[in-house]
Amino acid sequence: MEEDKVVLLGSGFSMFGMRAKIALAEKGIKYEYIEEDLTNKSSLLQEMNPIHKKIPVLIHHGRPICESLIIVEYIDMVWHSNSPLLPFDPYLKSQAKFWADFVDQKVYHASRRVWISKGDEQEVAKKDFLESLKHLEEFLGDKPYFGGETFGFVDVALIPFYCWFYTYETFGNFKVESVCPKLISWAKRCMQKESVSETLADEKEVYESVLDYKTRFILN
Ligand SMILES: N[C@@H](CCC(=O)N[C@@H](CS)C(=O)NCC(=O)O)C(=O)O
């Protein structure tokens, strides 16, 4: 592997992988993308992320960086001169990191339960999911982006979920827009950015892949 080459290990419709792609696109970094088959992980993935063996992994100077939010922060620090993603101010930075972590701790886990579970469990998941989005919408307020006037860290953390909304809504029989209209306007604003629109998957394709996954791996 060449010294200063940038390589990204990703997979399919992973929102975590999309975060890294958006950050790299925002910075205008050229990189090699390697698609991983998570049912048959490559020796490169196992070598580069021996602890979790998960994607995404960014490989820079031949060294691995794991965990999507850490990858986005790394990209922001290394290529700091263009399109800053994290604020410089320590307090604002702490807030951005808090909300990005909130996306992982609350939004992600609830969203997964929306399409994986049924009955009462699914009702609880829907409530948790929408409640977590409502909190984010309150934090967004009337700002165009979570950090203010420009697209930043929390936007990168959350926007990949947007292409999964159709899946959550179809399985859960609800509409995010009726509960969080401002969040949908924010998502549409983000979609006007090339880094986002060229990265996010087609919502129907995400749904088809989840249906396929459920029929193959989950007993209904
Ligand atoms: N917290 C991790 C989550 C990454 C993650 O869950 N990746 C999934 C794909 S969406 C994966 O590699 N799964 C393979 C496995 O669990 O074996 C991050 O933010 O990067």
6-78: CATH topology: Glutaredoxin (3.40.30)
Please state the rounded mean pLDDT for residues 163-175.
98
Which residues have C-beta within 8 Å of that of residue 42, sequence separation ≥ 6? 9, 34, 36
Q: How many Å lie between the centroid of ligand 1 and the Cα of residue 68?
A: 9
The pocket around ligand 1, CB under 6 angstroms, is made up of 11, 14, 16, 38, 53-56, 67-69
Q: What distance in angstroms lies between residue 65's CA and the mean position of ligand 1's atoms?
A: 13
User: Residue 13 and residue 205: Cα distance in Å, rounded?
Assistant: 9
Distances (CA, A) of 9 to 15, 36, 202, 218: 13, 6, 20, 26
- Asked if the bond preceding 50 is cis, omega within 30° of 0, the reply is no
Say whether pTM exceeds 0.85.
yes
CATH of 90-217 among 1.20.1050.10, 2.20.25.90, 1.10.3720.10, 2.60.120.380: 1.20.1050.10
pLDDT digits (tens, 9 = 90+) for 73-128: 999 999 998 899 999 999 999 999 999 999 999 999 999 999 999 999 999 999 99
Inter-residue contact 115 to 121 (CB < 8 Å): no
Q: Does the pLDDT at position 216 exceed 90?
A: no
Mean pLDDT of the region 160-185: 98
Measured distance CA(201)–CA(107) in Å, rounded: 19
Give the residue, out of 38, 42, 54, with the most ligand 1 atoms within 8 A of its beta carbon, to mutate for a pocket test.
54
Q: What is the pLDDT of residues 179-198, one digit of tens each?
A: 999 999 999 999 999 999 99
Q: Give domain limits for the chain.
A: 6-78, 90-217
pLDDT at 1 over 70: no
What atom in ligand 1 is closest to the CA of residue 53? 17
Query: Using CA positions, which residue lies closest to atom 17 of ligand 1?
Result: 54
Mutate to test the pocket of ligand 1, among 8, 13, 16 (most ligand atoms within 8 A of CB): 16
How many CB atoms sit inside 10 A of residue 44's CB?
16
| Amino acid letter, residue 82 | N
Name the average pLDDT for the chain: 96
pLDDT at residue number 218: 72
Give CA torsion, residues 104, 109, 114, 118, to 10 deg. Answer: 180
Split at pLDDT 50, 70, 90, the class of 133 is very high
